[in-house]
Amino acid sequence: MKRIASADELYALQKQLQKNRDPQKTVITICAGTGCRGLGCMQVKEALEAELKNQNLTEKVEIRATGCPGFCEKGPLVTILPQNIFYQQIKAADVSDIISKTVLKGEIVERLLYQNPDTAQTIVREQEVPFYKKQMRILLNNNELIDPTRLEDYLAIGGYSALATVLCNKTPDDVIREVKTAGLRGRGGGGFPTGVKWEQCRAAHGTEKYLIGNGDEGDPGAFMDRGIMEGNPHSIIEGMLIGAYAIGSQQGYLYVRNEYPLAIKHLSIALENAREAGLLGNNILGSGFSFDIIINRGGGAFVCGESSALFASIEGRSGEPRDKYIHAVEKGLWDKPTALNNVETWANVPLIINRGAEWYRSIGTEGSKGTKIFSLVGKINNTGLVEVPMGMTLREIIYDIGGGIPRERTFKAVQTGGPSGGCIPESMLDLPVDFDALAKAGSMMGSGGMIVMDDRSCMVDVARYFINFLQEESCGKCVPCREGLLRMGEIFADICEGRGREGDIELLLSMSAAIIDGALCALGSTAPNPVLSTIRYFRDEYEAHIKDKKCPAGVCKALIQYRVIPEKCKKCGACKKVCPADAITGELKELHAINPLTCIKCGACFEACKFDAVSIE
Amino acid sequence: MIRLTIDNKEVVTEDGATILEAAARAGIRIPTLCYHEKLQPFGACRICVVEVEQMKGRLTPSCSTPATEGMVVRTSSEQIIKARKTVLELLLIQHPLDCPWCDKGGECQLQNLTYEYGVSRNRFKDKKSDHPVDYLSPLVERNTNRCVLCGMCVRVCDEVVGASEWSMVNRGISTKIATDFDRPLNCEFCGECENICPVGALTNRMFKFKARAWEVENVSTVCSFCSTGCAIKLSLKDGRIVRALGEEEGAANQGSLCIKGRFGYEYVMSGERISRPLVRKNGTLTPATWEEALQAVAEGLKAVKEQAGPGAVAGLCSARLTNEEAYLFQKLLRAVIGTNNVDNSGGYAHRGYSSGLSLPPLEFKDLQSCDRFLVIRSNVSETHPVVGYRVNVAVKQKGAQLIVADPRRIKLARFAQTYLAHKPGTEIALLNGLAHTILTEGLENREFVAARTEGIEELKKSLVQFTPSFVEQATGIAGKDLVEAARRFASGTRAAIIISAGMGFPGDDAALARCAANLALITGNAGKPGAGVLFLGEKSNSHGSVDMGAVPDLLPGPQELAKDPVRQAFAKAWGAAIAAEPGLTCEQIIAGAEQGSIKALYCAGENPLQAYPDTKKTKTAFGKLQFLVVQELFLTPTAQMAHVVLPAASFAEKDGTYTNAEGRVQRLHQALPPCGETKTDAEIFCRVAKALGKDLGSWNPAAVMAEIASLAPRYHAVSYATLTVKGHLLSDAADREAPGAEGAARFSLLPVDVIAPEAPSAEFPFTLLIGSTLFHCGTLSTRSSAICSVYPQARLEINPGDARALDIRDNDTVQVSSATGALTITAKIIARQSPGAVFIPYHFLSPAAQELASAAQLQTRVKIEKRTETSL
């Protein structure tokens, strides 16, 4: 792309690109995010291309590979514009129907539509799908409008207008005031007011300042940042440019985990295109302001999402946190003032500039403004990315958007905030989701992971999982985290394997307090949260494990036994067929029984039995 | 200043101090495991946590949290004690608790804290770690089972020593201290890591199973090797030294040591020590009584003096004699024999500071506040490692900028912003080139030059020829690099120029010192702490030997012999006339011996046949002496030629003082009784004088120092009664804040001649650099087996390209020959050696590098041939 020399040139170009987009032209958008790729969307895309070529439609119909719109459960997702027909779970075999019927004849292929599980009715328009209906998608909606590898697409939807506005009409102080007024808080989990951070960084001594976009998303089950980095990389870059202008920084870094190759690819392409267009580099839009961004790939360490460990990693040292006796805004990367924000935070910035702080603060609750993207996973019908205004209740998210718990099981808890967060029980489902309410409940917003658990989830096992995860991810620098988490993991192993002792809960509580008090960084000091919250809300489950040597949820193998209920057994042999250990006796038409000595407690019989004749005790 | 409250006590501390430091200043102890004042805060052990009222909610690590105004701190509470106990409990799960046979037992921080906090029970199951112990590394044993991962070894090795040998490998619970791929140590072997280790993870192998920490008696004294003058403690058990420790209170070293100081003391207890006097009878040295030996010395000296006059007698002393002994030695020669023929260090190695440098010495601690360093003709990390640590700290921790000029890519070059690999022997041209550039670019400190110096115009005139292009031709340093270095140097506010002296270097130190002083002065680097020229003498008392007048033209002070009132004062005090004529220098003494004008020579601790250039010539000259007396620890090549050998006590066997390179007078304390029949040099000098019928006074070091103090104004305030472990910084050094007090500091403006190094001839194409290695100092260290276990023999360091051209591989035997001699030596191919030059350390008896050198020439040219099997 030609270098854009001024704001006026940018506006002209945006107009031109908008004009070039024929609103009547048929566009097939297909989600090409990592989730849908896993479900085979690239084969669908290839099939679409081949079919269009066959039918000589390449000129008339455009295929747009977009980022993730969020509804991963039903991927691969395809939308036909301008009619806005929403197809889901598309396979390559469906392509000919899509082209021949929908594209050419305007007919709707019924079987590809989403069916409302409650009403059994099919739904044509995306926005009418319950999953989307209650969402407020101010960030994610753009994912569907653009091909993330094309700067033109971003410009065509008004991209970089916020940057132009800022460079032409606002002083750095104006920008900071705007962001402060908007009430934007850090989306990485800490929830620190972004504008305040920028203000401190701007006021910090020195002319060399750094800006970092933290894309080292590592919470198990969380992929919000990936959705933005893959689907709309320019929004992050634009946000960082505005931040850089506000703070007075010349150099930014994007720290992206290496396990996100597609995000890295899309960000790299975006940076290159922006640089070529003069939106990065020297004298951006002729304003005299200069800024550039380098991508740093993370090496797979969870702790490198922690700011000081992240700095160390960028500096080429091993990713270990250091005591933050001096704030990063004064002494961060290379000991220079540094503003580190999560990529989602950065992506919010252009919205605030474009639509105003007042508009932004009208969304959300008293203390938490705007929207938040959550990745809804676990025992939930509609797995995917959801973007909701702050303050929506957990119940609305889980039931209205998430579609509730599958297989008619009952909801037990939702884990929010990743390994640093906690588990929230059923009784608190009407909790509004914002920074402060979640913290009060013993969990945290975190970066937006939301793992739903049903009655078949053992809360002791969940806590054990997170402790083991963090123990493996502990850098090993400070004693409480290095040694303490290991020992907590051992206590959990004892509890879950039937060696629990009276006093183990108290020991876990005491260790938790010691780690919270003593650990060097947030990884350690928040690590006990899953333990504390599960003990707080599910103490009876711990006690069952320790005292009765039972796992009520039937998860901890050492504590359970599979048994055939003779009254219910229909002697069909289904269980015997799937048993990998040959532990089930009884030929066809004979009563089955499970030999506890050879049973490996895999649960295959339980899943296979259609008559609920296998019980877990 | 910051005011805060710690444990209800008002504390005032300076800005930037941590809570821990503030508490320490107020006498409040906070326990630590991973903190050391020499290192950057780490915050890993969490033992030092405290409660800060303003930071409620969590405990705060005091080691890394800065004290702020109005802070209210509690260093002990139920919660804090619980947190500390939990940490200890956690550490003790894996710790093997093998305290009964651990060498750190009794001085182990983990042991002490466990005791202090009464951690007698553990809520967790024992899970002892079982890593193999590293027994393969020399001098340091590594048992990671005992490690608490405080990281201090890693950090001291990186932040202070600059070797970065250790690092933390793996992650989380698998973290351990290791080298790359867990190989045995191959480093500087300073032992700083084992010394700083708070537990028994790294231990001193020499100390292994020698003693429990509480059994030893520690004697404070001063290291006997280089002129850093590290304060050390010798641990004694059963009349033997079992280890050496850095004295934390030591002002020169703050507890740090190098390999020599920590592991080099063994020579003291060597079985090769001479324990009885020897007198040559029928051509062989035969054991004799002291009476016989002293009689023989008196007769030998008297005979020469009577036959040929006092001018035919000369004395050479070692720069390792104490101040008192050096003083007595020159007094013996001047007042008893009647000659000024006394010198030390080859007569040339001391000239940088005895006659070249007009600026007062720098204090080592101030180096850490410098923002610029120029290190030239100084592999300071090897010649004076602990001074090198200071440079590391300034550069690595505090961001000072470093310019290194050396033909070899020395260790400091790794950290340098500018590295200038000049041709060997062209340091003067380089310094003048820097001065020229600074003056022509107007980068000099005009205010300082105008107010505090004289002769700027003459200096400018004399520097005219040192244009970048001229310097480029002379030194091989590209003009633009020279200009960049000059700008870098001149842009600092506090710059130190560091130069090492030594018997391996060419004898142009005086001129080098003058040029360095010029450069320091034009940039205003004088009269403030850390700014100026640091000229580092080679040996423990190199500077004291000059101060004590063990040179031909200076009397104790040092004061100029040429000045009548000075001479008269000494003549009066000593009751003997002192010749106005300066004595002969080393070179002249050796030449005199060869020509027959010097007939008797007294070598006190000096070993010219191994340490001086041109061994063959020296040997011939000594062979012609009518009488040679050698006072020594060992039967050195020089002693083997002697007519009488007098056995002397080592540094550990005597009291006395050394004066180090920063002008600090420090006290030696006797740790061991003299070996065999040996006597201190002081006593021997007095007995020799007595045998000659004169009284030198008491040999009691305190009394001798009192005499020195009465005659040498610089030493007026030095008294044994007041000398502490921190020593006494001589007054000119202490007064450096205001050198202008007696008028402006003088520019030394001797016009500088360019000495063009000879072009390599076809016959001798290589330049030979002779010098010190990190592991040795002088020739004494070759008698210490621990040091020799790491560096047993001299090797020829040669650049890979040169080696390839000569078809030399690593460990090949090569023949090196110069115009004066030849030797065979093992080759070591090493990239840091610059092409066209080779390096041989001079410490060893064989191969002895000095056989190739010539005192008359600044450069030694050699040829190198590979020795094939048949030629062997």
Interface confidence (ipTM) of the complex: 0.89
Q: At what angle do helices A172-182 and A194-203 cross, to 10 degrees?
A: 150
Q: Could B173 and A487 be called an inter-chain contact, meaning their C-beta atoms sit closer than 8 Å?
A: no
Domains located in chain B, CATH noted? 2-76 (3.10.20.740), 127-269 (2.20.25.90), 278-346+542-726 (3.40.50.740), 353-536 (3.40.228.10), 766-871 (2.40.40.20)
- What pLDDT score was predicted for residue A324? 76
Tell me if chain A has a CB within 8 Å of the CB of B65.
yes
Measured between alpha carbons, how far is B598 from B589 in angstroms, rounded to an integer? 7
Q: Could A483 and B90 be called an inter-chain contact, meaning their C-beta atoms sit closer than 8 Å?
A: yes
Say how many domains are in chain A.
5
Measured between alpha carbons, how far is A219 from A445 in angstroms, rounded to an integer? 12
Instruction: Find the residue in B nearest to A325 (Cα).
Output: B65
Measured between alpha carbons, how far is A394 from A378 in angstroms, rounded to an integer? 14
Q: Are strands B240-246 and A449-454 parallel, antiparallel or unpaired?
A: unpaired
Chain A positions in Cβ-Cβ contact with residue B93 (cut-off 8 Å): 483, 487
Task: Give residues 486 to 515 of A whose Cβ lies within 8 Å of B.
Answer: 486-487, 490, 507, 510-511, 514
pLDDT at A474 over 90: yes
Tally Cβ neighbours within 10 Å of residue B118. Answer: 10
Q: Could B44 and A478 be called an inter-chain contact, meaning their C-beta atoms sit closer than 8 Å?
A: yes
A583 falls within a domain: yes
Measured between alpha carbons, how far is B558 from B401 in angstroms, rounded to an integer? 35
Q: Could B66 and A483 be called an inter-chain contact, meaning their C-beta atoms sit closer than 8 Å?
A: no
Measured between alpha carbons, how far is B28 from B42 in angstroms, rounded to an integer? 21
Tokens representing A238 are 């634009």
A42 falls within a domain: yes
Strand, helix or coil for residue B553:
coil
Same domain, residue pair A532 and A612: no
Which candidate from B46, B123, B168 shows the least CB-CB separation from A479?
B46
pLDDT band at A71, cuts 50/70/90? very high
- What pLDDT score was predicted for residue A242? 97
Q: Could A482 and B49 be called an inter-chain contact, meaning their C-beta atoms sit closer than 8 Å?
A: no
> Among all chains, which residue has been given the structure tokens 């006659």?
B355
Which candidate from B46, B90, B175 shows the least CB-CB separation from A487?
B90
Same domain, residue pair A308 and A380: no
Smallest CA-to-CA distance from A612 within A409, A379, A461 is with A409
Share of chain A above pLDDT 90, in %: 82
Query: Among B173, B199, B398, which would you mutate to test the A interface (most chain A Cβ atoms within 10 Å of its Cβ)?
Result: B173
Q: Could B59 and A517 be called an inter-chain contact, meaning their C-beta atoms sit closer than 8 Å?
A: yes
CA distance A516 to chain B (A): 7
pLDDT in tens, A176-197: 999 999 999 999 888 999 999 9
Instruction: Find the residue in B nearest to A488 (Cα).
Output: B124
Q: Could B66 and A326 be called an inter-chain contact, meaning their C-beta atoms sit closer than 8 Å?
A: yes
Chain B positions in Cβ-Cβ contact with residue A516 (cut-off 8 Å): 58
Q: Could A487 and B124 be called an inter-chain contact, meaning their C-beta atoms sit closer than 8 Å?
A: yes
- What pLDDT score was predicted for residue B748? 55
pLDDT band at B179, cuts 50/70/90? very high
Cα diameter, chain A: 85
Tell me if chain B has a CB within 8 Å of the CB of A316.
no
By mean pLDDT, which of A149-158, A440-449, B40-49, B620-629 is the weakest? A440-449
Smallest CA-to-CA distance from B198 within B37, B389, B32, B19 is with B32
* Domain end residue (candidates: A439, A454, A469): A454
**CA-based angle B519:B520:B521, to the nearest 5?**
95
Measured between alpha carbons, how far is A252 from A237 in angstroms, rounded to an integer? 10
pLDDT at B132 over 70: yes
CA distance B867 to chain A (A): 46
* Domain end residue (candidates: A361, A388, A413): A361
pLDDT at B674 over 90: yes
Cis peptide bond upstream of B565, omega within 30: no
pLDDT band at A277, cuts 50/70/90? very high
Tell me if chain A has a CB within 8 Å of the CB of B397.
no
Same domain, residue pair A421 and A439: yes
A439 falls within a domain: yes
Contacts of residues A394-399 at CB distance under 8 Å and 24 or more positions apart, as own/partner, are A394/A424, A394/A428, A394/A429, A394/A430, A394/A431, A394/A433, A395/A429, A395/A430, A396/A134, A397/A433, A397/A450, A398/A429, A398/A452
Same domain, residue pair A104 and A187: no
Range of the domain at A37: 24-128
Same domain, residue pair A228 and A302: yes
Q: Could A484 and B93 be called an inter-chain contact, meaning their C-beta atoms sit closer than 8 Å?
A: no
pLDDT at B13 over 80: yes
Q: Could A476 and B94 be called an inter-chain contact, meaning their C-beta atoms sit closer than 8 Å?
A: no
**CATH number for position A488:** 1.20.1440.230
The arithmetic mean of pLDDT across residues B668-677, rounded, is 96
pLDDT in tens, A95-149: 999 999 999 998 999 999 999 988 889 999 998 999 999 999 999 999 999 999 9
pLDDT band at B737, cuts 50/70/90? very low
Instruction: Find the residue in A nearest to B82 (Cα).
Output: A514
- B606 within 8 A of B636, measured Cβ to Cβ: no
Q: Which residues contact A280 (CB under 8 A, 6 or more apart)?
A: A237, A241, A271, A274, A291, A292, A293
- What pLDDT score was predicted for residue B789? 93
Q: Read off the amino acid at residue A466.
A: F
Query: Among B18, B32, B34, B46, which would you mutate to test the A interface (most chain A Cβ atoms within 10 Å of its Cβ)?
Result: B46
Tell me if chain B has a CB within 8 Å of the CB of A480.
yes
Same domain, residue pair A221 and A244: yes
pLDDT in tens, B14-67: 998 999 999 999 999 999 999 999 999 999 999 999 999 998 878 999 999 999
- What pLDDT score was predicted for residue B759? 67
A69 falls within a domain: yes
Tell me if chain B has a CB within 8 Å of the CB of A315.
no
The arithmetic mean of pLDDT across residues B116-143, rounded, is 91
- A480 within 8 A of A470, measured Cβ to Cβ: no
pLDDT at B432 over 90: yes
Q: Could A479 and B170 be called an inter-chain contact, meaning their C-beta atoms sit closer than 8 Å?
A: no
A503 falls within a domain: yes
pLDDT in tens, A163-180: 999 999 999 999 999 999
pLDDT band at A21, cuts 50/70/90? confident
Measured between alpha carbons, how far is A46 from A348 in angstroms, rounded to an integer? 33
By mean pLDDT, which of A293-302, A453-462, A511-520, B742-751 is the weakest? B742-751
- B644 within 8 A of B296, measured Cβ to Cβ: yes
Same domain, residue pair A589 and A528: no
Same domain, residue pair A209 and A357: yes
Q: Could A479 and B83 be called an inter-chain contact, meaning their C-beta atoms sit closer than 8 Å?
A: no
Q: Could A480 and B90 be called an inter-chain contact, meaning their C-beta atoms sit closer than 8 Å?
A: yes
Rounded to the nearest 5°, which phi and psi values hold at B667? -95, 130
Measured between alpha carbons, how far is A402 from A422 in angstroms, rounded to an integer? 20
**CATH number for position A208:** 3.40.50.11540
* Domain end residue (candidates: A128, A143, A173): A128
Tell me if chain A has a CB within 8 Å of the CB of B93.
yes
- B626 within 8 A of B313, measured Cβ to Cβ: no
By mean pLDDT, which of A508-517, B118-127, B705-714 is the weakest? B118-127
Say what the alpha-carbon torsion angle A67, A69, A74, A78 is, to the nearest 10 degrees. -70
Write out B163-204 in H/E/C secondary structure: CCCCEEECCHHHCEEECHHHCCCCCCCCCHHHHHCCCCCEEE
**CATH number for position A53:** 3.40.30.10
**CATH number for position A593:** 3.30.70.20
- B58 within 8 A of A517, measured Cβ to Cβ: yes
Same domain, residue pair A501 and A565: no
The arithmetic mean of pLDDT across residues B200-227, rounded, is 95
Q: Which residues contact A457 (CB under 8 A, 6 or more apart)?
A: A379, A412, A413, A553, A555
The arithmetic mean of pLDDT across residues A540-556, rounded, is 94
pLDDT in tens, B381-418: 999 999 999 999 999 989 999 999 999 999 999 999 99
A153 falls within a domain: no
Same domain, residue pair A97 and A227: no
Q: Are strands B372-376 and B401-405 parallel, antiparallel or unpaired?
A: parallel
Q: Read off the amino acid at residue B367.
A: L
Same domain, residue pair A92 and A202: no
Same domain, residue pair A98 and A166: no
Say what the alpha-carbon torsion angle A95, A101, A105, A109 is, to the nearest 10 degrees. -110
